[in-house]
Amino acid sequence: MGFSLTLDQILARKNVSSRTSSNKEVVINNDQQDNENMKPVQNVTTMPITQALNYNLSRQRLLEKEPWSAFSHHSPVNVSMDGIPCILFWTKRITIKFKNQTWLDLTDEAFGQEATVDAGNSNCSEENATLSLKFGDAENPRGLDIRFTLTNYNKFSIQSWFSLHRVEIIFNNSVQASFNATGIYATSSYSYHCHRVSSLQRYDSLLLPSDTDMSSLWEVTFVDFQIQAFTIKGGQFAKARDCASSFSPAILIGLAMSLILLLVLAYALHMLTYLRYLDRHYDFIASPAHFPHLKAGDAADEKELLRSQGVECYELRSQQICKIYV
């Protein structure tokens, strides 16, 4: 398959360990040669990108705004429409992988000091927003893009919120992988932050690959992922809604154990109450109050009957057998 060969060549040119080489360009060739005969192209100087959208990369230090941001010199992608910010995006690390190729690290191209990512195809409206990150040469129509689709829910005047609907990987202007986002949302006055947003199952799979394309062949991971859309004040991230407290395996195990302990405690309390009831019941049966009082006449007749009874004794083989009538 022509696409597979070309894409393998792209991912083979860049190693995940070369994170500091921001001056390298992802070069996309149209030839169909084998991977063994291909050599990486390095030290290619990229030209500044002219962006059609009013887009800028904010250069404010992120550490002053978010305590978890280890890469303080990296700044968020700020997409604006008519001078008004509508999308803020930042992540500590972006890595993608196709088939069994080496992980491709795109972090420096998006957030490095000399970032070359192009967000010119991004757009915002009242209900939807699209963040398009194109890596490599902006003039190359066969570039590699990562596109985020966000939705604004403001039907209720009391509370509105936004959510990440889908993440797509685009190559040669064609969607090659689509991941449906699950649980990535926040109210309009908050941003969304998660330590790891990934399609890998060991990371809770917040990105689920679509069944209709080649998504299962792709893997994508964002570390310290943060995004905000539609309602942005001052061009900075608002207080973050964190995903860590929701679906952690340790927390789920703790909840399951708590439920089991609660059931055991409820059963123990039930048995204790039942035993106390049995004690009171038997105490009542054994007490004199349980039997009706004898009348005086009946008591006298009973005594007379006892006095009228005799004792009969018989002697048999030198043994005394007595019959006592009561």
Q: Which domains does the chain have, with CATH numbers?
A: 2-245 (2.40.160.110), 252-324 (no CATH)
Residue 199 in contact with residue 50, Cβ under 8 Å?
A: no
CA distance 227 to 236: 11
Q: What is the pLDDT averaged over residues 209-214? A: 81
DSSP 3-state assignment of 171? strand
**pTM of the complete model:** 0.56
Closest CA to 37 of 17, 12, 55, 16: 12
Single-letter amino acid, residue 206: L
Q: What are the structure tokens assigned to 156, written together?
A: 């209720």
Q: Is pLDDT above 90 for 249?
A: no
Token pair 């080489």: residue: 21
Q: Is pLDDT above 70 for 121?
A: yes
Residues 6 or more apart in contact with residue 103 via CB below 8 angstroms:
16, 95, 96, 97
Confidence band of 246 (pLDDT split at 50, 70, 90): low
pLDDT value of position 259: 92
CA distance 67 to 121: 31
pLDDT value of position 4: 45
Single-letter amino acid, residue 18: S
Confidence band of 264 (pLDDT split at 50, 70, 90): very high
CA distance 271 to 153: 51
Confidence band of 166 (pLDDT split at 50, 70, 90): very high
Q: What is the pLDDT averaged over residues 221-233? A: 89
Q: Is pLDDT above 90 for 262?
A: yes
Q: What is the pLDDT averaged over residues 87-108? A: 86
Q: pLDDT: is 265 or 289 the higher one? A: 265
CA dihedral 205, 208, 213, 217 (to 10 degrees): 0
Q: Is pLDDT above 60 for 154?
A: yes
- The bridge status of strand 77-81 relative to strand 84-90 is antiparallel
How confident is the prediction for the chain on average, in pLDDT?
A: 70
Residue 121 in contact with residue 143, Cβ under 8 Å?
A: no
Confidence band of 38 (pLDDT split at 50, 70, 90): very low
> Distances in Å between the alpha carbon of 259 and those of 244, 256, 266?
21, 5, 10
Q: Is 276 exposed, middle or buried (0-12, 13-18, 19+ CB in 10 A)?
A: exposed
